Amino acid sequence: MLIVLALIAQTTPLNAEAQKALACASAVAVPFMSNENVPLLTLTAQYTYFTMAAAKADPGSGPFNERVNALSAAAQALPVPGAAEAATLLAECDRLYPAARRTRNAALPADPYERDLACHGAAVVMEGGAMALAQQGKPEYQGRYKGMYDYFGNRLATAFTERKLDGPGIGREVDKGMLISLTLGNTEAIANSCMALLPAS
């Protein structure tokens, strides 16, 4: 399997586990690019999971969310594997990261605060993807996760105030939510479970 991970532009080479996770992120787009009827939001959720897994494996020295963004850009710079290579690679990715491409709803944390962190983090990713699709001429995605984003965002704002958190403190809590989500599933699976918690309008 010849994925040229050395092309990743950074001063310190990634460790082996992070390289594997980024290779998975690169491969996960191949079924979508091959017109295998993979919804773009599903791809977004799976790609994000793998880049977060890479950041957890090789966290660097800065905030976790910034590391995720940097490694997401690095994964996009990787050569795209062919269909056969991607299929073999994704089988290994499913073994290493069984929650990454799981489609069923995620089991959410029992702790309400941790649940709110995970749900809001998932909403950020999924609403961002939905907004991008709407801007690309697909209005059916407009605001798909906005209610979830607002609901859990408001709950967290209250919780942060009660905890007297400042900007860096809030950033650390956001990072905590991202790390929690890795134990649950991809952001689409988490969002599906979180949507069921929204109050009836």
Residues 116 and 191 in one domain: yes
> Locate tokens 């787009």: which residue?
29
What are the structure tokens assigned to 90, written together? Answer: 């994704």
Task: Provide the CA 50 distance to its chain's centre, in angstroms.
Answer: 7
pLDDT tens-digit map of 53-66: 999 999 988 899 89
Question: Within this chain, do residues 62 and 133 fall inside the same structural domain, yes or no?
Answer: no
Q: What is the mean pLDDT of residues 105-127?
A: 95
Instruction: Tally the residues of the chain.
Output: 201
Residues 110 and 131: their CA atoms lie apart, in Å, by 30
Question: Is 70 domain-assigned?
Answer: yes
Percent of the chain surpassing pLDDT 90? 61
User: How many domains does one find in the chain?
Assistant: 2
Residue 116 contacts residue 155 (beta carbons within 8 Å): yes
- Count of other CB atoms within 10 angstroms of residue 71: 26
Task: Give pTM, 2 decimals.
Answer: 0.87
Query: What mean pLDDT do residues 134-143 have?
Result: 84
Residue 35 C-alpha from the chain's centroid:
22
pLDDT, residue 30, reads 86
Q: Looking at the structure, tell me whether residues 126 and 191 fall in a common domain.
A: yes
Mean pLDDT of 86-92: 93
pLDDT, one tens digit per residue, over 119-135 is 999 999 999 888 888 88
Residues 86 and 119 in one domain: no
Which amino acid is residue 149, in one-letter code? Answer: Y
Domain that holds residue 187: 112-195
Query: 145 with 81, same domain?
Result: no
